Structure 1
């Protein structure tokens, strides 16, 4: 618009001379009374000067002349929010979005309106859409602001509650926003959760919590190497939380890196020494590495922290079967089954019952495994001091030369148990 009054009005508005701007726009409208743009600009000047009702009147006049004006619809919505006319504001902002589906500020304003109306989930959806559009427009600052609003709207973080499963420890987030994404992943929407986390990291590549969260989701998807990469990045960004070490340890264990997993679980326990879940996870790593005594010690420690941890009982029972201590294994299986029954966790309950039925049929699968079992049993009998066991073995080798190593181990075990009246 080349009207001289209109141009002077724009200049005065830039200088924050709103009274002068209103006067100039009024002169422009006397010359061109059907100028929607002049009404919009005068409305903005009224709004900035605090005359909200006059601003709404001008935006309405602009829409009368130009009903498809995105700017007039958005500006009137903004003014109506200031006047607490939330239904009118929602109607205007929805019109602006229909006219321009890529209007990031309109989605942001819609989120504000819906939050004020108490529809939190709809508000979150609007802020998320605004964040996506801001990100596409490379407006990372406004994108971060939208993410911050989303986080503020999430419910308070729930305390970690141990979950009794055989496959993994429960996932724990570091703040409420990521809690929602992780719950989404738990329900099976892992691809959507990953997509959400990807655009969070596009907005802020230094968000260590987002890397941790994405690592947990990738671990759930079975992408253990990618998960480890995310946990590594979280640690590089100095997010040294127990949840990072615990979940990276889980991923390393599932990849067969038992010693690396144990190192991670050690780190997690330094941060959270009373975390029963980490003791169970480290016990699983010890068991996978063939250290059944270490595994039993960790499961026992977990049970000292949480006496009703069915997972710890079940896994300790497995470790006892490897040591051929079947009575202890049966006792642990029965205790696990009772807890699962009380919780009405029928899937795990039946799995424990199946293990109980098979326990009498358990046998070592290889010569090496038989040797490992005998080695562990003898180590327990001598209190963990292998030097004592070695001397006893050497004595048997002197008395009975030419026998197999397994024979010597069994002989020493039999003699010690007989002497102790077992």
Structure 2
């Protein structure tokens, strides 16, 4: 499950409800700005906190936002300290509960994450992002039905929430409900097309034996991110399935150019070379696969059949 990379929209929505104290100034503006980088956010929010220019909920907002920035920097213990302080300052404020839940999720403490998301939802049930985040924690605990209900709730509150469609599609995929998975991934692509959206839908098409559609989606992933190995190696596999060994070889060449550490690309390129009659090239690729993953049974078996093990 992909954790959303940013909680900026939630931060903005919640900060805007803070009491209108004095004008915040440049530090406050950067602390809450949607465009601030994690480093900029931490620096600006630290200035607000250190200068004691805010109090009450706005001070809690500075701690909440700095906690967000620290979370993005994966300084999780420091983030947790800030979010605890934000909760202490404003226990009726949903922002720190949501952001603290995210820290616990990164720490794989999903029960605490869910408890914080529950509290955030209790305080503000209109926030689709919190339902999405709770759904991710439930998914990571193996509660697929609970996750599905949360992603439904997130989409109900924000029908244009691309991440929630992708997450709901993943739950359907895990439940082997391919039709609903394709529908949700298609909506995800409509709202926010990117490499992972096409790869995710391509995987569903692949497992549904709709190989031409899978290849087309992996092709779109390649178009959007031509230096990312994932599109190339996924399409390479489909081409091998379809008997297009030259096309598969070409795709695996590209995959290994961009990710030479992927053991399965070496193994699969070896299969393509073997099918094309390049015995020595196949042996070299299978040996490289074994070098990267000693004990890989498919590479060992191929080398035995070739008399090279």
TM class by shorter-chain length?
0.5 to 0.7
Give the C-alpha shift of residue 219 in structure 1: 1.7
1:229 aligns with 2:115: yes
Give the C-alpha shift of residue 331 in structure 1: 0.9
State the superposition RMSD in angstroms.
3.2
For 1:148, the equivalent position in structure 2 comes to 58
CA 1:313–1:125: 2 relative to 1, 3 Å: closer
For 1:215, the equivalent position in structure 2 comes to 101
1:203 aligns with 2:89: yes
The count of corresponding residues between Structure 1 and Structure 2 is 207
CA 1:150–1:233: 2 relative to 1, 3 Å: closer
CA distance in 1, matches of 2:108, 2:222: 28
CA 1:359–1:256: 2 relative to 1, 3 Å: farther
Q: Following superposition of structure 1 onto structure 2, how do residues 45-60 of structure 1 map, counting pairs within 5 Å? A: none
CA distance in 2, matches of 1:115, 1:247: 29
Bigger Rg, structure 1 or 2: 1
SS of structure 2 residue aligned to 1:256: coil
SS of structure 1 residue aligned to 2:163: helix
SS of structure 1 residue aligned to 2:55: helix
1:182 aligns with 2:68: yes
CA 1:208–1:113: 2 relative to 1, 3 Å: closer
Give the C-alpha shift of residue 334 in structure 1: 1.3
CA 1:204–1:149: 2 relative to 1, 3 Å: closer
CA distance in 1, matches of 2:97, 2:43: 26
1:325 aligns with 2:204: no
For 1:293, the equivalent position in structure 2 comes to 179
CA distance in 2, matches of 1:316, 1:201: 39
Q: Gaps spanning 5+ residues in structure 2: where?
A: 1-23, 31-39, 242-309
CA distance in 1, matches of 2:143, 2:230: 27
For 2:233, the equivalent position in structure 1 comes to 354
CA 1:331–1:124: 2 relative to 1, 3 Å: closer
1:128 aligns with 2:7: no
Give the C-alpha shift of residue 357 in structure 1: 2.9
Give the C-alpha shift of residue 317 in structure 1: 0.5
Give the C-alpha shift of residue 130 in structure 1: 7.4
TM-score between both structures, scaled by the size of structure 1: 0.44
CA distance in 1, matches of 2:149, 2:217: 27
CA distance in 2, matches of 1:179, 1:301: 30
CA 1:115–1:290: 2 relative to 1, 3 Å: closer
1:191 aligns with 2:70: no
Query: Which fold has the larger relative contact order, with Cα–Cα distance below 8 Å and residues 6 or more apart in sequence?
Result: 2
Q: Following superposition of structure 1 onto structure 2, how do residues 379-398 of structure 1 map, counting pairs within 5 Å? A: none
Give the C-alpha shift of residue 310 in structure 1: 2.3
Q: Give the conservation status (yes or no) of the 8 Å contact 1:218–1:224.
A: yes
For 2:220, the equivalent position in structure 1 comes to 335
For 2:132, the equivalent position in structure 1 comes to 246
Q: Give the conservation status (yes or no) of the 8 Å contact 2:138–2:144.
A: yes
Q: Give the conservation status (yes or no) of the 8 Å contact 1:182–1:193.
A: yes
CA distance in 2, matches of 1:221, 1:199: 19
SS of structure 2 residue aligned to 1:331: helix
SS of structure 1 residue aligned to 2:225: helix
CA 1:124–1:311: 2 relative to 1, 3 Å: closer
CA distance in 2, matches of 1:332, 1:302: 13
Q: Give the conservation status (yes or no) of the 8 Å contact 2:56–2:89.
A: no
CA distance in 1, matches of 2:69, 2:48: 19
Report runs of 4+ in structure 1 exceeding 4 Å deviation.
Answer: 112-116, 120-124
For 1:303, the equivalent position in structure 2 comes to 189
CA 1:305–1:329: 2 relative to 1, 3 Å: same
Give the C-alpha shift of residue 282 in structure 1: 0.6
CA distance in 2, matches of 1:224, 1:183: 21
For 2:252, the equivalent position in structure 1 comes to none
Q: Give the conservation status (yes or no) of the 8 Å contact 2:60–2:86.
A: no
CA distance in 1, matches of 2:120, 2:186: 31
Q: Give the conservation status (yes or no) of the 8 Å contact 2:162–2:188.
A: yes
